[in-house]
Amino acid sequence: MAASNSEVWQRGRIVESRALTPRIRRIVIEPSLPVKVVPGAHVDVRIRVAGEDDRRSYSIVDATADGRRIALSVLDSPRSRGGAAVMHGLREGDEIELTQPLVDFPLRIGARRYVLLAGGIGITAVSAMAVTLAAVRSDYTLVYVGRSRSEMAYVGELQALHGDRLVLHVGDEGTPLDVRALVGAIEDDTELYLCGPIRLMDAVRRAWVDAGLDAPNLRFETFGNSGWFDPQEFVVRVPALGLEATVGPNTSMLEALEAAGADMMYDCRKGECGLCEVLVLDLDGAIDHRDVFYSEREKNATGKMCCCVSRVVTQGATPVVTIQTT
């Protein structure tokens, strides 16, 4: 699929906002410059959080064929950095600024078999893929994992669309996902598309490597917003710049450093490219690596971190990290 990733900003008018679950709202937007939407696409939305301009990425769950209406679905969780509250506040007739669809997670047509694996709100990134694979009569399974059915959006619609190809794993119904069993049953020329919390992603990546499967066939998308631990406030010190900043639970270390006046290098801001890497000189706490740039080995070494997404945590007092920037 030719993925065009030119960032074109446009206006969008909200034409629908409704609760799918107590914490997930479906938001339908009519963009001013509609284009056809391909599976795996997301939009970036301009929002204001705490008086500052910011942006958030949301997968396009579904869209009309001409792209004149696109639907997002947004989870509001205690770990949200403020975007979800803004998005949940939108009502019919409100206007927002958003990009045309961007594709960092393209679905390749033509694999012999597919497994689409969604954890929780990650269903938003893969449900359009499942629709496309059904339309081209591919061999696919959609595996959808959640803690409880009341927190899983779109279950009824997915069952109607995909029948036996949909496999649900619901924690409080006693059918949790066995990642090892799932990955163990995957054959060589199967492509797996994954979007979910970092614990699920890490478990699948580990099982994939252990099963000796081809690394390129594991495809995933992360917007860098989930970790192994709940975010907590921590302090970052940069002795070379004579600078210290407090990183609140709803901001990133990169944002805090920029706000404190550091001239930071970065590109993706979602833990993929490694450009925002900082050297860890001293650490009072533990690093919660939330990126997908470092390997397991590198993460265990704790000498570096991607400051756009990764954080520092402790059990007790305020964690402190002392770093050197590029």
Partner 1 sequence: MKDSTVNKVLDYPRNAWYVAAWDHEVNRNILSRTVAGRPLAIYRTEDGQPVALADACWHRLAPLSMGKLVGRDGIQCPYHGIRYNSAGRCISMPAQETINPSATVPSFPVVERFRFVWVWVGDPTLAEPSLVPDMSQMDAAGWTGDGLTIEVACNYQLVLDNLMDLTHEEFLHGSSIGQEELSESDFVTSHTDTTVTVERWMLDIAPPPFWLKNMRDRFPGFEGNVDRWQIIHFEAPSTICIDVGVAKAGTGAPQGDRSQGVNGYVMNTITPERDRSCHYFWSFQRNYRLESQLITTQLRDGVSRVFKEDEDMLIAQQAAIDANPDYEFYSLNIDSGGMWVRRLIERRLEAEGLLPAAPVAAIAS
Site residues, partner 1 (CB under 8 A): 1-3, 36, 104-106, 108-111, 132, 135-136, 191, 215-217, 219-222, 268, 272-274, 292-295, 297-298
Of the two residues 161 and 260, which places its CB atom closer to partner 1 in the complex?
161
**HEC secondary structure over 15-30:** EEEEECCCCEEEEEEE
Name 145's bridge partners. Answer: 119, 169
End-to-end CA, the chain: 36
Q: 112's torsion region: left (phi>0), alpha (psi -120 to 50) or beta?
A: alpha
Distance CA 49, CA 58 (A): 16
CB of 295 to partner 1, least distance (A): 4
The angle formed by the CA atoms of residues 284, 223 and 245, to the nearest 5 degrees, is 35
CB of 100 to partner 1, least distance (A): 15
Encoded tokens for 186 = 């995957």
Of the two residues 44 and 191, which places its CB atom closer to partner 1 in the complex?
191
CB of 324 to partner 1, least distance (A): 19
Of the two residues 1 and 259, which places its CB atom closer to partner 1 in the complex?
1
Burial 160-176 (b: 16+ CB within 10 A, else e): eebeebbbbbbeeeeee
CB of 143 to partner 1, least distance (A): 18
Encoded tokens for 215 = 């690394």
3-state secondary structure of 117: strand
CB of 94 to partner 1, least distance (A): 29
Run of H or E residues at 299: helix 296-301
Of the two residues 106 and 248, which places its CB atom closer to partner 1 in the complex?
106
Of the two residues 109 and 240, which places its CB atom closer to partner 1 in the complex?
109
CB of 141 to partner 1, least distance (A): 19
Of the two residues 6 and 315, which places its CB atom closer to partner 1 in the complex?
6
Encoded tokens for 274 = 């490694």
Give every CB contact of residue 157 below 8 A, 6+ residues apart in sequence.
none
Q: Answer yes or no: are the C-beta atoms of 312 and 234 closer than 8 Å.
A: yes
Of the two residues 40 and 83, which places its CB atom closer to partner 1 in the complex?
40
> Tokens 């939330």 belong to which residue?
290
CB of 117 to partner 1, least distance (A): 14
Of the two residues 105 and 144, which places its CB atom closer to partner 1 in the complex?
105
DSSP state of 173: G
CB of 267 to partner 1, least distance (A): 10
